[in-house]
Amino acid sequence: MSHVKLTARARLRGTVDIPGDKSISHRAVIFNAVAEGSARITNFLTGADCLSTIACVRALGVDVVQEGSEVHVRGVGLRGLREPADVLDCGNSGTTLRLLAGLLAGTSIFTVLTGDASLRSRPQQRIVAPMRALGAQIDGRQSGDRAPLAIRGSSLRGGSYQLPVASAQVKSALLLAALGGSGSLTLGGRIDSRDHTERMLSAMGIDLQIGPDQITLYPPTHPVLPYPLSLRVPGDPSSAAFWWVAAAIHPDAELTTIGVCLNPTRTGALDVLHAMGAEITITNQRSEGSEPVGDVTVRSSHLRGTVIGGTLIPRLIDEIPILAVAAACAEGTTVVRDAQELRAKETDRIATVSAGLTALGVEVEPTNDGMILTGLGGPALHGTALQSHHDHRLAMAWAVASLVASGETTIADPESAAVSYPGFWEILQHIHN
Ligand code: S3P
């Protein structure tokens, strides 16, 4: 087991170029793999999760050339995917496994998808049950609720499904399954998760009708996405959020994050920090491909406790560990609720975040669907030994906490940060002077 030792910093200053968005990077490779023609993707996230996607897509016979953050994909259409010689390893990545499961269910090849111990412990019935209802032949451990998942591709029928949880992975898996199907698919219920799939499939020529309460996909006549999508991937707001909170909780800080995706389905953390009293300035707003982008500057702030729940949750689900660090340094109580989904992430983040904050000297009560935190009224955390549990977002949240903690903070297995943010530790070294 490896460890990193960290101590507080007197001053934080700097400008950080935010690496490509993880969700958009996965989608850019998977969607272009089944498009008609070639695409060039720049600012692709070279995190381990997105590299798992590239490896799986290559194993399906697609030509993917990666040089650093530039990736070229030569699309083959759904029927051009080749049956892989071995099991596809999705590593730690739920997005790889669930989106590929959707795509592969509607092909004519046999595939098996698996991943690391964390991924094999996460629920899959959420995609398996609705896909079976469309005619998919898919099975796995625990009656299909756990990977490895075995998929015998077949022609799926259309239909409709009410999403019970706001999950972009489930929504995307079903839309991808419908691509090769014989009829339209209508999704209702909790469709209010990140909408990159809808934006990108529309830009690639798929007939998608998107209303406030439902989405309908009409499969193309030929099972191929008509236009490849070349793009610069905007910066990941889930990565930028670590620097936003670092600046907000630190007594002498100003940090600017450049080129952050400001898609409204992803900006819940900015809304919460704003409501907590954070000093935030957004400049240089522009459009990159199908996404709004801007630069975000955050300065030292006096934060107040808040309530994080309801429809905000899908807009900041991955940022809850780092928002909990902000809440720990705020004045007053913060309540996180309606966030049961945290229990199905890389770790049970209600349990792991609560345990870490308790060790840092914060009063936290974990609840079924969130936590109740009593803020310390300022950056008064106690440095201690913390576990990342191999969860990238925990490793980075604890690193930010260490910037304002007394004494020494040690974090176990810090290298997991590379799952979504390969340059994180180097930047942490460079933002103080
Ligand atoms: C993602 C969706 C979210 C998020 C994950 C990435 C995506 O998961 O937590 O990091 O790219 O679709 P859920 O769909 O399970 O909410």
- Asked if 13 and 45 sit in the same domain, the reply is no
What CATH number did the domain enclosing 82 receive? 3.65.10.10
362 falls within a domain: yes
- Asked if 28 and 147 sit in the same domain, the reply is yes
Q: How far is the CA of 387 from the centre of ligand 1 (A)?
A: 23
DSSP character for 71?
A: E
Is residue 2 packed enough to be buried (19+ CB in 10 Å), middle (13-18) or exposed (0-12)? exposed
Separation between Cα atoms, residue 259 and residue 19, nearest integer Å? 9
pLDDT tens-digit series, residues 203-231: 999 999 999 999 999 999 999 999 999 99
- Asked if 203 and 109 sit in the same domain, the reply is yes
Q: Is 348 a catalytic residue?
A: no
- Asked if 119 and 198 sit in the same domain, the reply is yes
Catalytic residue among 318, 338, 369, 413: 318
Cβ proximity of 194 and 229 under 8 Å: no
Residue with CA closest to ligand 1 atom 4: 318
223 falls within a domain: no
What is the model's pLDDT at position 314? 98
DSSP strands (E only) in 118-164: 137-140, 146-152, 159-163
The tens place of each residue's pLDDT in the chain, 433 residues long, gives 899 999 999 999 999 999 999 999 999 999 999 999 999 999 999 999 999 999 999 999 999 999 999 999 999 999 999 999 999 999 999 999 999 999 999 999 999 999 999 999 999 999 999 999 999 999 999 999 999 999 999 999 999 999 999 999 999 999 999 999 999 999 999 999 999 999 999 999 999 999 999 999 999 999 999 999 999 999 999 999 999 999 999 999 999 999 999 999 999 999 999 999 999 999 999 999 889 999 999 999 999 999 999 999 999 999 999 999 999 999 999 999 999 999 999 999 999 999 999 999 999 999 999 999 999 999 999 999 999 999 999 999 999 999 999 999 999 999 999 999 999 999 999 997 6
Residues at CB less than 6 angstroms from ligand 1: 23, 95, 167-169, 172, 193-194, 317-318, 341
- Asked if 183 and 90 sit in the same domain, the reply is yes
What is the model's pLDDT at position 290? 87
- Asked if 194 and 302 sit in the same domain, the reply is no
pLDDT tens-digit series, residues 98-149: 999 999 999 999 999 999 999 999 999 999 999 999 999 999 999 999 999 9
What is the model's pLDDT at position 1? 82
- Asked if 240 and 167 sit in the same domain, the reply is no
53 falls within a domain: yes
Q: Into how many domains does the chain fold?
A: 2
139 falls within a domain: yes
Cβ proximity of 341 and 317 under 8 Å: yes
Q: How far is the CA of 112 from the centre of ligand 1 (A)?
A: 21
Q: Find the helix or strand (DSSP H, E) in which 57 lies.
A: helix 48-59
Domain end: 218, 252, 278, which one?
A: 218
Distances (CA, A) of 60 to 79, 82, 103, 110, 114: 11, 5, 12, 11, 15
What is the model's pLDDT at position 433? 62
229 falls within a domain: no
- Residues 6 or more apart from 142 whose CB is under 8 A from it? none
Q: Which of 21, 23, 50 to mutate to test the pocket of ligand 1 (most atoms within 8 A of CB)?
A: 23
276 falls within a domain: yes
- Asked if 11 and 53 sit in the same domain, the reply is no
- Asked if 275 and 212 sit in the same domain, the reply is no
Residue of 90, 40, 42, 96 whose CA lies nearest to 63: 40
Residue with CA closest to ligand 1 atom 11: 23
Q: Tell me which residue range forms the domain holding 26.
A: 22-218
- Asked if 10 and 83 sit in the same domain, the reply is no
